[in-house]
A and B are shown apart, each in its own frame.
Chain A
Amino acid sequence: MNVPRDAYFVVAALAGVLIVSSLVGLLLHRHATGETRATVNNLNSRILAWWVIVIVVGGASLAGRNVLILLFALVSFFALREFITLAPTRRADRGALVASFCLILPAQYGLIWIGWYSLFTIFIPVYAFLILPILAALSADTNNFLARSADMLWGLMVSVYCISYVPALLTLEIPGFQHRTVLLIAFLLIVVQSSDVLQYVSGKLLGRHKIAPELSPSKTVEGFVGGMVCATLLGASLWRITPFSWRQAASMALVISLSGFLGGLVMSAIKRDRDVKDWGHSIKGHGGMLDRLDSICFSAPIFFHLTRYFFTP
């Protein structure tokens, strides 16, 4: 895969944004007192984690298709590991879990690697859906059978199927956009993650009214509106790196941020049900891998299919 020149500009722009935010974080850290200290420290560890994420994902994008697919396979592995840790699986599910980690996950990314669209879109919803309960049934433990099977399937759908739609963007063949599909990934990730950050920032600055106190105490109406508006504007401003016009880019960005926000709510509901605050502890300041990915899980498939429906022949 030839790396389009725009990709270098995108990486440079992100580095610029991070340098500015790191400087702001440093300034805030100097002037923070008392109770704001904890917030500022959390902000700074988040910024530090962003450096790592941008370097890893940006590096993989510039390194080419194989590395990028491998990176997202690893991300899925970590996400599935977090999901299953909190799932009430039993001894009898070991066969199904080994199959999920060792067969289904690699197979899904293998299908994306060879670009077999008609199979990678149904592999988990159809075949894993059938195989997992069969494996669980063969081990003859009927305790909470449906709940256990559903948990494992949800884990696969969210952490493998949905996330695999990010590298699947590379398989799209858009006229006039050949060899530049990696920029679709950049567009998706930048819009989703900035939407999260902008919601967080506008929530912290202006937040008054909680939007879903039972699900996520930190999400506010002001944060939601601010995040959506800013992310849409950001998406529109990125239209040059996409196959879209600026209006189309704005609508895509709006759909992406909206589905990302709702995905975050769904994943929060699961966390509340499991009685945990974070999915894990692998990314300092953010919690687990899934805490960072929840909005991508829900927006990646929608973005993929919208783009495929409207922009490929």
Chain B
Amino acid sequence: MRSEFAPIAVALPAGIPVRTSVRHPREHTSRTGLGVESIVAGAFVCATRLLTCVRARWLECESTDAPRIYFANHASHMDFLLLWSALPARLRRKTRPVAASDYWHQGALRRYLAIRVFRSVFVERDNPDRSANPIAPLVEALDQGESLIVFPEGTRGTGEDLLPFKAGIFHALCTRPDTELVPVWIDNSYRVMPKGAVLPIPLLCTATFGPPARITRSEEKTAFLRRMRERLLALRNA
């Protein structure tokens, strides 16, 4: 599966009021019962488990129902599926990926997967005129009690190191400072399916959930992003 999970590369003044954004008509369909979509989603989870036997390690971190932002290292198309499959089913149902709107609206299959199956929250990567507040959909999802998965590096790296973080989560947190940020280190996904690979290789993978953090009052953007990046890196060898 091809995916592009969003770099949220936007520069906004902190603390802006949130306006409602224009939504895709089917964007917020929540999944209830045993629809076709939940069967497809279940098939993806099963396939991910068969391929990677993904194991969740919760270090000083409980799996709770409160809306959270999971942020993880990004090296492979498998990353979202790994993190999502590692979550307990109860949390998975209310955890949504943040995805790039331009990429995921191309083609019927991608649209179907992104909107109906994974219920992605879309952000505009190219938003030169600032016509809509790009982080509004994120804040809205958090307000509805749902958790988000973001990859703050913005693009897939080599798997060995972390790229500098983009500021998207910072801006979302400035408007919702009570939201917990959970670092998740995903191990081995770049070996399963690195950038440019067509077929995945079956290998064992681990998702390590670290202690949740919050943004502190008066914390500056670069300092906050550096702190979060270090928290994520600390999980690499934990």
Q: State the A residues within 8 Å of B (CB).
A: 77-78, 80-82, 84-85, 89, 91, 94, 97-98, 101-102, 280-282
Which one, B188, B191, B201, B204, contacts A82 given CB within 8 A? B204
A-B contact pairs, 7 of them (CB 8 A): A77-B202, A81-B204, A84-B202, A85-B204, A91-B194, A94-B197, A94-B199
* CB-defined contacts of B16 to chain A, threshold 8 Å: none
A84 to B191, CA, bound (A): 10
Which one, B55, B199, B202, contacts A81 given CB within 8 A? B202
**In the complex, what's the smallest C-beta–C-beta distance from B168 to chain A, in angstroms?**
30
Sorted from nearest, which 4 A-B pairs have the closest CB atoms? A85-B204, A81-B202, A85-B203, A97-B201
* CB-defined contacts of A78 to chain B, threshold 8 Å: 53
Are B199 and A98 in contact, CB atoms less than 8 angstroms apart? Answer: yes
A81 to B192, CA, bound (A): 11
**In the complex, what's the smallest C-beta–C-beta distance from A299 to chain B, in angstroms?**
25
* CB-defined contacts of B197 to chain A, threshold 8 Å: 94
Contacts A85-B188, A89-B191: A98 and B204 contacting too (C-beta < 8 A)? no
* CB-defined contacts of B53 to chain A, threshold 8 Å: 78, 81, 280-282
Residue of B nearest to A80 (CB): B202
Are B201 and A101 in contact, CB atoms less than 8 angstroms apart? Answer: yes
Are B203 and A81 in contact, CB atoms less than 8 angstroms apart? Answer: yes
Are A98 and B201 in contact, CB atoms less than 8 angstroms apart? Answer: yes
**In the complex, what's the smallest C-beta–C-beta distance from A276 to chain B, in angstroms?**
11
A280 to B55, CA, bound (A): 10
A78 to B202, CA, bound (A): 9
Q: State the B residues within 8 Å of A (CB).
A: 53, 55, 188, 191, 194, 197, 199, 201-204
* CB-defined contacts of A101 to chain B, threshold 8 Å: 201-202
Are A281 and B201 in contact, CB atoms less than 8 angstroms apart? Answer: no
Which one, B55, B194, B199, B201, contacts A84 given CB within 8 A? B201
Are A281 and B199 in contact, CB atoms less than 8 angstroms apart? Answer: no
**In the complex, what's the smallest C-beta–C-beta distance from A133 to chain B, in angstroms?**
18
**In the complex, what's the smallest C-beta–C-beta distance from A152 to chain B, in angstroms?**
11
Most A C-beta atoms less than 10 A away, residue of B188, B194, B197, B201: B201
Residue of B nearest to A281 (CB): B55
* CB-defined contacts of B55 to chain A, threshold 8 Å: 281
A84 to B200, CA, bound (A): 13
A98 to B204, CA, bound (A): 15
A85 to B202, CA, bound (A): 8
* CB-defined contacts of A85 to chain B, threshold 8 Å: 188, 203-204
**In the complex, what's the smallest C-beta–C-beta distance from A285 to chain B, in angstroms?**
15
**In the complex, what's the smallest C-beta–C-beta distance from B85 to chain A, in angstroms?**
15
A82 to B53, CA, bound (A): 10
Residue of A nearest to B192 (CB): A85
**In the complex, what's the smallest C-beta–C-beta distance from A163 to chain B, in angstroms?**
16
* CB-defined contacts of A102 to chain B, threshold 8 Å: 199
A102 to B53, CA, bound (A): 18
Residue of B nearest to A77 (CB): B202
Residue of A nearest to B200 (CB): A98
**In the complex, what's the smallest C-beta–C-beta distance from A46 to chain B, in angstroms?**
19
Residue of B nearest to A95 (CB): B199
Given contacts A81-B204, A85-B204, 16 further A-B contacts (CB under 8 A): A78-B53, A80-B202, A81-B203, A82-B204, A84-B201, A84-B203, A89-B191, A94-B199, A97-B201, A98-B201, A101-B201, A101-B202, A102-B199, A280-B204, A281-B55, A282-B53
**In the complex, what's the smallest C-beta–C-beta distance from B189 to chain A, in angstroms?**
12
A280 to B199, CA, bound (A): 23
A94 to B199, CA, bound (A): 9
A113 to B214, CA, bound (A): 58
A81 to B188, CA, bound (A): 12
* CB-defined contacts of A280 to chain B, threshold 8 Å: 53, 204
* CB-defined contacts of A84 to chain B, threshold 8 Å: 201-203
A84 to B202, CA, bound (A): 9
Residue of A nearest to B204 (CB): A85
Residue of A nearest to B190 (CB): A91
